[in-house]
Amino acid sequence: METNVVLVLLVGLPGSGKTTLCRALKAHHEEHHNSGRLVVIHLCYDDLIPLSVQREFAEQKRTEGQWYGEDLKGIKGEEGEEKSCKVNDMKGSKDREEDKDGEDSVTNGIGDDWKSARRKVHTQVDWFVQYLTTGKAESGVENFFNVSLEELRSGSKYVILLDDNFYYRSMRYEYFQLARRHSAAFCQLYLHCSMEEAVLHNDMREERVPTGVVTTMAERLQAPQAHLHPWEANTCVLNTGVGQVSEALDAIIQSFQQGLNPLQDREQEVAEARRRCSESVVHQADLCLRAIVKHLVKEQLQQVDKRSSPASQVAARINAARQAVLASLRAGAEVPHHLAETITQDNKHEFETFLEAEMKKIISE
């Protein structure tokens, strides 16, 4: 389906060249396509939330002992692949008005809550895409992108470059949902870069990201995987070197023919979110249970007569219990509500305790 808006996410480590590529794409367009029919808009998160503010907030949260799973380029938290099971699509106009109150600037109150700041950016992008696809504008939305309505009205096709790290898949998925809701196209530009290259390039920047943050993000970055997540199919992988601009432009231009169809039934969306959450929790459970099995085998062998219960039988019985717990979770077994959405470093120990208790129940039967 053809569309007039392409939402482009830049994915990659700090220092991988995302902002440089965005500027090159915009400059190339202005030099070669100045007819005005195509408008390229670059939204850099570091311009909206300066690194100095991010560092101040990061230090505040470290002092308080709080870690967030969002990318502050200074805050690194642990989170599951899908951070939240909440469905962000289908937001009503009343909710939009409530979000809009007091939002003169996305940086207002940034120290209050980092997640809130990211939500404000998401809301503004949502309003902007709505305007470009329907002509309905929220007050002041054009000011957020520093683009005049006159310039927007002169165009017929629009490219929005979202310049952030987007290192967790859940961060990217919420923008896929946004694009789908407005029948826009969704494209990812993944700048593949080794950790060593990223650190080297980062060190040459005027305002650099702490090296520890780059290395931690490299360990946690969830690269696009279209074979596992079909919604990531429209991803262009760009390696370091020449040719990035032409490859990226080709991918973006082709995306105008790949507008997304909105879900007709919200129940379908809710079911999809639940399925994704279930898969995430089962995956985390499988990883945790492997460690629990080793612990329980060792514990059981210390308590039984090895002549009457050989190690192989003990291991087989405990592995059978592991499979039973996983099957139960896949079938929709009840999990404590606060553990059912996502497993983080904060609740991982509690989740492991829950799984071990379930294992022991089955073994004792």
Q: Is the pLDDT of residue 260 over 50?
A: yes
Asked whether the predicted pLDDT for residue 63 surpasses 60, the reply is no
Give residue 77's pLDDT. 33
- 316 and 353 assigned to the same domain: yes
* pLDDT over 70 at 111, yes or no: no
User: 321-328: which pairs have CB atoms within 8 A and are 24 or more residues apart?
Assistant: 321/359, 321/362, 321/363, 322/289, 322/290, 322/292, 322/293, 322/359, 324/362, 325/285, 325/289, 325/355, 325/358, 325/359, 325/362, 326/282, 326/285, 326/286, 326/289, 328/358
pLDDT at 106: 41
SS3 call for 334: coil
Is the same domain home to 132 and 222? yes
Measuring CA to CA, how many Å separate 329 from each of 116, 248, 275, 280?
Answer: 32, 42, 12, 11
Contact (Cβ atoms closer than 8 angstroms) between residue 356 and residue 285 = no
What tens digit of pLDDT does each residue of 20-49 get? 999 999 898 888 765 558 889 999 887 776
Its pTM surpasses 0.85: no
In a domain, 91, yes or no: no
Q: Are residues 138 and 246 in the same domain?
A: yes
Residue 35 makes CB contacts below 8 A (sequence gap 6+) with: none
Range of 218's domain?
5-51+110-264
Which residue among 228, 244, 264 closes a domain?
A: 264
Q: How many CB atoms lie within 10 A of CB 66?
A: 12
Quick one: 219 and 327 in the same domain? Answer: no
- Of residues 166 and 332, the one with the higher pLDDT is 166
- In terms of domains, do 23 and 166 share one? yes
236 with 172, same domain? yes
- In the structure, what pLDDT confidence band is assigned to residue 341 with cuts at 50, 70 and 90? low
Statement to judge: residues 240 and 116 lie in one domain: yes
Last residue of a domain, one of 230, 264, 298: 264
User: Are residues 289 and 241 located together in one domain of the fold?
Assistant: no
Residues 356, 332 within the same domain: yes
Task: Give the Cα separation of 261 and 2 in Å (integer).
Answer: 10
Q: Is residue 119 part of a domain?
A: yes
pLDDT at position 49, please? 66
Q: Is the pLDDT reported for residue 176 higher than 80? A: yes
| pLDDT average, residue stretch 278-307 | 80
Q: Give the highest mean pLDDT range of 111-120, 145-154, 160-169, 280-289.
A: 160-169
Q: pLDDT per residue over 147-163, tens digit each?
A: 776 777 767 899 999 99
Neighbouring C-beta atoms of residue 277, cutoff 10 Å: 18
Cβ atoms 274, 85 nearer than 8 A = yes
Whether residue 52 has pLDDT greater than 80:
no
Tell me if 119 sits within 8 A of 15, measured CB to CB: no
- Spatial neighbors of 134 by CB under 8 A, at least 6 apart, are 182
Those residues whose C-beta lies under 8 Å from the C-beta of residue 60, and which sit 6 or more positions away, are 111
Number of domains forming the structure of the chain? 2
**Distance from C-alpha of 202 to C-alpha of 215, rounded to nearest angstrom:** 11
What band does 8 get if pLDDT is binned at 50, 70 and 90?
very high
Note whether residue 61 is domain-resident.
Answer: no
Question: pLDDT tens for residues 207-229?
Answer: 788 888 888 889 889 999 999 88
User: Which residues are bridge partners to 191 per DSSP?
Assistant: 238
CATH number of the domain that residue 135 is part of: 3.40.50.300
Locate the DSSP E strands across the chain.
5-11, 38-44, 157-163, 185-192, 235-239
Lowest-confidence segment of 113-127, 131-145, 350-364 by average pLDDT: 131-145
Q: In terms of domains, do 147 and 196 share one?
A: yes
Domain boundary among 207, 242, 264: 264
Q: How many other CB atoms are there within 10 angstroms of residue 80's CB atom? A: 20
Q: What is the DSSP string of 85-137?
A: ----SS--HHHHHHHHTT-S-TTTTTTT-HHHHHHHHHHHHHHHHHHHHHS--
Query: What is the arithmetic mean of pLDDT over 270-291?
Result: 73
pLDDT of residue 183: 95
Interatomic CA distance for residues 180 and 87, integer angstroms: 13
Do 176 and 234 meet the contact criterion of CB atoms below 8 Å apart?
no
Please say if the pLDDT value at position 324 is more than 70: yes
